[in-house]
Amino acid sequence: NAGVTQTPKFRILKIGQSMTLQCTQDMNHNYMYWYRQDPGMGLKLIYYSVGAGITDKGEVPNGYNVSRSTTEDFPLRLELAAPSQTSVYFCASSYSSVYYEQYFGPGTRLTVT
Partner 1 sequence: GENVEQHPSTLSVQEGDSAVIKCTYSDSASNYFPWYKQELGKRPQLIIDIRSNVGEKKDQRIAVTLNKTAKHFSLHITETQPEDSAVYFCAARDSGGSNYKLTFGKGTLLTVNP
Q: Name the residues that contact partner 1, by CB under 8 A.
A: 31, 33, 40-45, 48, 50, 58, 90, 94, 97, 100-107
- Rounded to a whole number of angstroms, the minimum distance from the CB of residue 43 to partner 1 is 5
Shorter beta-carbon distance to partner 1: residue 42 or 113: 42
Of 53, 50, 80, nearest to 64 (Cα)?
80
- Rounded to a whole number of angstroms, the minimum distance from the CB of residue 106 to partner 1 is 5
Which positions ≥6 away from 48 have C-beta within 8 Å? Answer: 31, 32, 33, 34, 55, 56, 58
Shorter beta-carbon distance to partner 1: residue 14 or 41: 41
CB 6 within 8 A of CB 22: yes
Task: Count CB atoms within 10 A of the CB of residue 89.
Answer: 22
Shorter beta-carbon distance to partner 1: residue 54 or 80: 54
- Rounded to a whole number of angstroms, the minimum distance from the CB of residue 15 to partner 1 is 26
Question: Judging by DSSP bridges, how do beta strands 10-13 and 108-112 pair with one another?
Answer: parallel
Shorter beta-carbon distance to partner 1: residue 3 or 63: 3
